[in-house]
Amino acid sequence: MAKPLQKDRDNRSADKKDLTFHAYTITPESAHTSILLLESAEPEILCQTLRAITKFAAQEMQNRHVLFDLDAIRYILPHVEHSELNIKRFALKALAQLCQLPRGPEQVLANPQNLRKIAFMLVKMEDVFVLEFASLVLSELTKEPLGCEQLVSANILSSLFSRMKNSLDPDVQKNCLQTLSNLLDDPVCASEVTKNQQFSWPSLLALMQSSFLAIQHAALRTVDQLVCRYKDQVVQKTFRASTGVLDLCDILESYEFRDVHTQVLGVLRNYVETEENAAHLYQSGCILRLLAYLEMALPAMKPHCLAVLTKMSFNSNGRDALYETGTDLVFCHQLLSSNVELLADAAMGVANMTKLLPSAVRMSDTNIIEALCAILGDEAAVWFYIRMNSLRALAELCRIIPKAAFSLVEPKTFASLRNINKKFKDNPIEAQRLAVQCYINLQSYHVSTRAMLNAEFIQELVTILQRIDTSLKIMTCTVLTGLMEEDIAKDLFTAKKGEEAVSYNLRLEHVGLRTALCTLLAASVSDDGADVYLELGTVHYMVENKEARYVVGAWEPALEAIFRHHPSAKLAYTGRLDINDFTQDGFYVQKRMGKSFPTLQQLVEQKPPYKDPVFICMFQQPHYDDASGLDIRTPYRRSQSKVAISPSGRLRFPSIPDDTNLRSYLLKLRIWFGDPSKSLHYFEIEDAHYEVRYRDKCEEVSSSLKQRAQLLGEFVGEQMSGLTQERDCSMPSVDLHLADLMSELQSAVVGIGWVRCGGALERAVLYKALSDRLGLPCALRRAAARAWCEVAVPDADPSEELDKEENYPAGLLRANYVVDLTIRPGRLLPLNSHEARRICGPNCDAKYTAGTLPEVCRCES
């Protein structure tokens, strides 16, 4: 069959759009014409046009924007006061619809008379439709602060309350409630609502049980706003005097009002914010009713009910009430429930109830710790706020209940806590901080503290110090500081390179972090740790950073703690050792200082040729024979810890030639002077021939110290006066002798006992080392090219003849004599005397310290 030559054409003219204008049927295209009709003087046209506008605006929100853009509000406002009732009704309705746009109220409120006219309609008119739409307009206008201000100035609040109470139209009641709610949202106008004489709780509470859901919601919102005005004592007292909480509980117990149960529980949660309100809720018997509701409520309502009880646990009266009603055990029970939505509030309730000691004890008798740790270890549970609140509960329980702390440090439960920081990349920083807070709380008890004293845990804490969060670092420093009360913790800290973490973080300019680090440093530093800090350059950095020494209060004590364990560094950086600074075995002094002070190991590893000597005091023998019968050779006792120490610590006493001369000096002096107890009265002194521990326990000193100081000065001068008859101790002779010693010993480190031709520095070092072991209070000073010793000895009145030795309090000793070791060895020259200046130099001489060169004194003194 052949195809048709032409397609059949449809008659499309029948579908042409109807462009006929209908005066009272508005479309977006004809809206402008309808707006112009509002200028008509004919009531019928006005009424029909306004009616059409309300229908058009009700169709969709876009139509309202079309009307607003055509400035419809300006044309509608004059008709709200029209004498024709229907025109007035439709004008108010159209105005209410346009006021629901974001910019609608702004145009109406531009003239204060507009709101005032509408407000007076609410007072004077009795027409139901006018009241409905007038109240609707007011509810929209008062969403703006300017609208609230204009309504309060109109002075119609009494009429607003009256309409809310007595109106038979539920829409009017709802709109009036919404207007009051808007006023309560405004911080300036809210007080005007509560001060009004028509304000009363019974009428407002009655609306909560209205048969209209919208009114219930509006009434509950208004009640919630009022009870949240915690500083308005009048509102709070009147609500407590009313039946408010009872009415709210009645609504909860009514299945008919189940749609507003969530909002009712929200009102109660906000109400129990204060101590007085929490006590009132308990006294009214509502807690027991809430517990009963918790048992019977729908699963969706239980979290909201538990939230009310949890909120009560935030204040003291609430905790007392919850304890009396056994709610703390309800919290514990809910932690075992299958409803995940209850876990967060239950855990927070446990954390808060722990602040009440009887409740904490009662909860700890259950398996609460295991339940909380199970939640904590459940990776399927969300952190915020199920696991976070569980962590808070653990922290609080461990803080005050020993039994809880002991349960937490059990291997299985403690592992769930430690995994938070072990797997820190998977956990929020807030959880990491709370876990460290648990560690801090666990240190309240000896058993739980001992559980943390192991290498793995110390390594975990040191690793935390390498992260970026400052608050976490500060808390970790607190944990480590608490652990450092045990000597084994100090060894573990050094073994896990804790000093490196501290040294790195000290360079971060944060006052709080630096304070915590310095506190940790002061508590953890040991002899080995001090060597590590010196090797890392930390000591040099702390000395040179004068700004930090001024800002950080713990900076100076931390530096002093290092110096206390490393007197060599103290002398190098401060130019002095006081009478209470004791030279330990391994004390060394550089002949000439450099930009920084090196460790002893670095000095031993120097390659020849050796430029400047380093003097070291080593009394003990390198290889001590246990079978030796000489009591004087009792070796220096190291720490009893079995933990491996850092490489720096193992090299604290490197292999150097045995200084037999130094030991022989001490043996001779002990034979001459006898038992130190003749000049020192001390207690609990161990037998330690090369140590100075008895000086720390010294209570009294005798007048014989002065004679001993003189004899020791003569002895040092005798031993350092050279090997030839000329006793030439000039600078060239001393330098030549020291060069020979370094060549013979093949090391720049020379035992001070090997030096037989010495100047002021060599003699002062030997005098200080022997004094510390003979019980003679001695200070070592170094300034410019000079070095000297000062002694603190009792100075009796020359006019009094002493037949026997007198004892003096050791704590009152101060350096009072300079020991002459070079001109006439053995003389004691009064401090600051003219003769002493020949030894010490002028007072303005700069100290000779590492990092700085002494300035040349140019004064005339």
> What was the pLDDT predicted at 7?
45
* Eight-state DSSP code of residue 299: T
- As a whole number, mean pLDDT of residues 71-88 equals 93
Backbone φ and ψ for 757, nearest 5 degrees, come out as -130, 100
Q: For all residues of the chain together, what is the average pLDDT?
A: 87
Q: What angle do CA 687, 690, 694 make, to 5 degrees?
A: 55
Q: Are 183 and 190 in contact (CB under 8 A)?
A: yes
Quote the pLDDT of residue 622.
64
Distance of CA 301 to CAs 158, 290, 292, 377, 631, Å?
37, 11, 13, 27, 83
CA angle, 169 as apex, 164 and 174 as ends, to 5°? 50
| Nearest partner of 666 among 760, 777, 766, judged by Cα | 766
Which residue matches tokens 């979290």?
303
Q: Which structure tokens are listed for 81?
A: 């006061």
Q: Which residues contact 533 (CB under 8 A, 6 or more apart)?
A: 499, 503, 521, 525, 539, 562
Three-state DSSP string of 160-179: HHHHHHHCCCHHHHHHHHHH
Q: What distance in Å separates the CA atoms of residue 349 and residue 341, rounded to the nearest whole number?
A: 14
Predicted TM-score (pTM) of the model is 0.81
Q: Which of 336-350, 806-820, 842-856 has the highest mean pLDDT?
A: 336-350
Residue 703 sits at the vertex; the CA angle it makes with 700 and 705, to the nearest 5 degrees, is: 85
521-568 pLDDT, tens per residue?
A: 999 999 999 999 999 999 999 999 989 989 999 999 999 999 999 999
- Confidence band, pLDDT 50/70/90 cuts, at residue 1: very low
Q: How confident is the model at residue 432 (pLDDT cuts 50, 70, 90)?
A: very high
pLDDT tier, 88 (very low <50, low <70, confident <90, very high otherwise): very high
Phi then psi for residue 572, to 5 deg, are -70, -35
Give the mean pLDDT of 135-152.
94
Q: Is the pLDDT of residue 25 over 80?
A: no
pLDDT band for 852, please (50, 70, 90 cuts). Answer: low
Tell me: pLDDT of 5 over 90: no
Strand pairing partners for 783? 786, 847
The C-alpha R_g of the chain, in whole angstroms, comes to 45
Interatomic CA distance for residues 794 and 777, integer angstroms: 11
The reported pLDDT for the residue numbered 854 is: 55
Which of 199, 322, 312 has its CA nearest to residue 265? 312
Question: What average pLDDT does this structure show over 597-622?
Answer: 88
Q: What angle do CA 601, 603, 607 make, to 5 degrees?
A: 115
Show the tokens assigned to 664.
């022989």
pLDDT score for 245: 96
Give residue-wise pLDDT tens across range 757-791: 999 999 999 999 999 988 889 999 998 889 999 99
Residue predicted with more confidence, 172 or 725? 172
374-384: pLDDT as tens digits? 999 999 999 99
Joined tokens for residue 695: 């000086």
Residues 496-530: tens digit of each pLDDT:
999 999 999 999 999 999 999 999 999 999 999 99
SS3 745: helix
Q: What is the pLDDT confidence band of residue 703, given thresholds at 50, 70 and 90?
A: low
Calculate the CA dihedral of residues 400, 402, 403, 409 and round it to 10 degrees: 110
Strand partners, 819: 789, 828
25: left (phi over 0), alpha (psi -120 to 50) or beta: beta
For residues 176 and 163, the answer to whether their CB atoms sit within 8 Å is yes
Q: What are the pLDDT digits (tens) for 329-381? A: 999 999 988 889 999 999 999 999 999 999 999 999 999 999 999 999 999 99
Segment 56-77 shows an average pLDDT of 93
Question: Residue 17: CB partners within 8 Å, gap ≥ 6?
Answer: none
* Paired strand residues for 160: none
- Supply the pLDDT for residue 702: 62
- Tell me if the bond preceding 112 is cis, omega within 30° of 0: no
Pair 660, 619: CB distance under 8 Å:
no
Q: Which amino acid is at 242?
A: S
Instruction: Specify the pLDDT at position 720.
Output: 92
Distance CA 723, CA 720 (A): 9
Whether the pLDDT of residue 625 is over 60: the answer is no
CA nearest neighbour of 596 among 782, 849, 855, 854? 849
Stretch 685-702: mean pLDDT: 52
State in Å, rounded, how far the first CA of the chain is from the last one: 137
CB 646 within 8 A of CB 528: yes
Average pLDDT for residues 185-198, to the nearest whole number? 91
Q: Which token pair is 702?
A: 């005798």
Q: Which of 628, 128, 825 is nearest to 136 (CA)?
A: 128
Q: What's the CA gap between 742 and 402, in Å, rounded? A: 62
State the average pLDDT over residues 710-727: 88
- What are the structural domains, with CATH classification, of the chain? 21-101 (1.25.10), 112-199 (no CATH), 453-565 (1.25.10.10), 577-624+651-796+804-840 (no CATH)
